[in-house]
Each structure stands twice: as structure tokens, then as C-alpha cells.
């Protein structure tokens, strides 16, 4: 039985939970993090010295960093489609996974902060312009990748889709003047057809309004 420590409304927790859902793994998730059980205890910090969520405990194997958790789950429990064993196939997918968890997350988070998290008194047209300028080239790059593909790798859904796609629920449901990127929009539609995406990624972000 896997244990995930982390609140369901965290996008990083959603990476771990979506992977768990796709792989059909028995698990329990404990509500830790902002608004729930504190992570600032010696016991939690011994598992995850960052004091952030998620943390995974798999029978005493303890990991933090959602990208590392995704790769651990893929390599231990994924089949050769979700987690290709051939480095020549997995490596290029991992480029997208790494980009998704770093560059795309950073750009998408800026928009989410501007629209949802910032208190009205901390919002500014300049902040919004900066956020749009940050995310638009990234979304455009993703759109180009998806123009001729069903999933990030091609015909098969893989770990790279989890690393890239987990930001898209917020990206497509917050209110902003999104660039017109049809392949990206179609990809998001396909993601919403996946039960594990609906359960673990399409989670209310109401608790995030006006928190910074
Ligand atoms: N790079 C880390 C970032 C983790 C992170 O920033 N987690 C946020 C939630 S998305 C957090 O723990 N926030 C504080 C809290 O909930 O107490 C990862 O990918 O796991």
C-alpha cells in the first residue's frame, strides 16, 4: 500500500496521484500541507526536508519531489507503454517530462498566480502582461508538439503526459485571454476523458483564491 502525504488541491500532489490512478495502484492519501496537517514536524521533515508536499512512502521507501515520485512509480509499476524500458524511447519522452515539470509549470503557475492567487490589491496589468508573455511561447511550443500527435510521445499515453498535462486543468479553466492553440485544446479535451485525470487533476482550486 502506497501512502501519499499531501492535500488533493496541490498541483504537485496531483502529479503523484494521477500517476497512481493511471497505474491502478492501491494507496491512501493523507491531507498534509497548507490548510491541513502541518508538514513542519520533525517526523514529516525526516521524510521530506523541504517541508513541501507531496511525499511518497512505499513500504518504507520514502521520496519527495513530484517528478522523482512520478519516475519511481513509472519505473517500478508502469508497463513498457507508460514507462518505456528502452532508453532510446524513454529518453526523448523524459526531455518533455523535465520541460513539463520545470519550464511549463513555471509559466503556467505565473498565470494561475495572477488570476487566482493574487489578492486584488496585489494584481496589476503589468503582472498579467508578464505572465501571459511567459506562458504563451511555452504553450505554443506544446501546441506544435501535439499538432501531429495524440499524446506527448505519439500514439501512447506515457509518464510524460502526466508531467506535462497536470497543469492544463487550471490553464484551461481560469479566466484569461488564452492564445488560440487548437492542438493544445484538443489534447486537454482528450485528457479530460481519462478517469484518473478527472479524479486527481480536475480538483477544485477554490482554496487558492486570494492567498498571496
Ligand atoms: N518541486 C516540488 C515542489 C513542491 C511544492 O511546491 N509543493 C507545494 C504545493 S503545490 C507545497 O508544499 N506548498 C506548501 C504547503 O502546502 O504546505 C515538487 O515538485 O514536489
**Distance between Cα 165 and ligand 1 center (Å):** 17
**Distance between Cα 93 and ligand 1 center (Å):** 24
Q: Write down the domain spans for the chain.
A: 2-77, 87-199
Grid cell locating 194: 481519462
CATH fold group of domain 87-199? Glutathione S-transferase Yfyf (Class Pi); Chain A, domain 2 (1.20.1050)
Helices (H), the chain: 11-23, 42-47, 66-77, 87-99, 105-112, 125-146, 159-165, 168-173, 182-192, 195-200
Q: Do 138 and 89 meet the contact criterion of CB atoms below 8 Å apart?
A: no
**Distance between Cα 14 and ligand 1 center (Å):** 11
**Distance between Cα 64 and ligand 1 center (Å):** 10
Find, among 58, 60, 51, 61, the residue nearest to 6 by Cα. Answer: 51
> Low-confidence residues of the chain, pLDDT below 50?
none
For residue 78, give every residue at least 6 positions away whose Cβ sits within 8 Å of its Cβ, in sequence order, or none.
Answer: 23, 159
Question: In ligand 1, which atom is closest to the CA atom of 101?
Answer: 19
Task: Count the alpha carbons within 13 Å of 65 in the hemisphere toward its beta carbon.
Answer: 7
Would you call the peptide bond into 142 cis, given omega within 30 degrees of 0 as the criterion? no
What residue owns the CA closest to ligand 1's atom 2?
A: 65
Grid cell locating 170: 487550471
**Distance between Cα 106 and ligand 1 center (Å):** 13
- How much is the pLDDT for 22? 98
Q: Which residues' Cβ are closer than 6 Å to ligand 1?
A: 10-12, 33-34, 39, 52-54, 65-67
Question: In ligand 1, which atom is closest to the CA atom of 39?
Answer: 17
- How much is the pLDDT for 52? 98
The CATH-assigned architecture of domain 2-77 is: 3-Layer(aba) Sandwich (3.40)
Question: In ligand 1, which atom is closest to the CA atom of 10?
Answer: 10
Q: Do 9 and 204 meet the contact criterion of CB atoms below 8 Å apart?
A: yes
**Distance between Cα 151 and ligand 1 center (Å):** 26
- Compute the radius of gyration of the chain from its Cα atoms: 17
Cβ count near 91 (within 10 Å): 10
Same fold, 2-77 and 87-199: no
User: What is the CA angle 4-171-35, rounded to 5?
Assistant: 40
What residue owns the CA closest to ligand 1's atom 6?
A: 52
C-alpha to C-alpha distance for 99 and 78, rounded to whole angstroms: 21
Residue 185 DSSP class: H
Q: Which residue has the cell 506527448?
A: 152
Q: Residue 180 — left, alpha, or beta (φ > 0 → left; ψ -120 to 50 → alpha)?
A: beta
Question: In ligand 1, which atom is closest to the CA atom of 7?
Answer: 16
Find, among 27, 23, 26, 69, the residue nearest to 47 by Cα. Answer: 69
Amino acid at each position: 500500500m502506497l501512502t501519499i502525504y499531501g492535500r488533493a488541491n496541490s498541483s504537485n500532489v496531483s502529479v503523484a496521484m494521477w500517476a497512481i490512478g493511471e497505474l491502478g495502484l492501491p494507496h491512501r492519501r493523507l491531507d498534509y500541507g497548507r490548510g491541513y496537517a502541518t508538514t513542519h514536524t520533525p517526523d514529516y521533515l525526516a521524510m521530506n526536508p523541504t517541508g513541501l508536499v507531496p511525499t511518497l512512502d512505499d513500504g518504507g521507501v520514502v521520496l519527495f519531489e513530484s517528478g522523482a515520485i512520478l519516475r519511481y512509480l513509472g519505473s517500478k509499476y508502469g508497463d513498457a507503454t507508460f514507462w518505456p524500458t528502452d532508453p532510446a524511447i524513454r529518453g526523448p519522452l523524459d526531455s518533455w517530462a523535465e520541460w513539463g515539470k520545470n519550464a511549463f509549470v513555471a509559466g503556467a503557475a505565473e498565470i494561475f498566480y495572477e488570476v487566482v492567487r493574487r489578492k486584488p490589491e496585489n494584481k496589476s496589468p503589468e503582472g498579467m502582461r508578464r505572465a501571459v508573455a511567459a506562458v504563451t511561447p511555452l504553450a505554443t511550443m506544446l501546441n506544435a508538439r501535439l499538432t501531429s500527435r495524440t499524446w506527448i510521445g505519439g500514439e501512447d499515453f506515457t509518464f510524460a503526459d502526466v508531467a506535462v498535462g497536470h497543469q492544463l486543468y487550471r490553464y484551461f479553466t481560469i479566466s484569461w485571454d488564452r492564445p488560440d492553440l487548437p492542438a493544445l485544446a484538443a489534447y486537454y479535451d482528450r485528457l479530460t476523458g481519462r478517469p484518473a485525470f478527472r479524479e486527481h487533476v480536475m480538483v477544485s482550486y477554490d482554496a487558492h483564491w486570494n492567498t498571496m
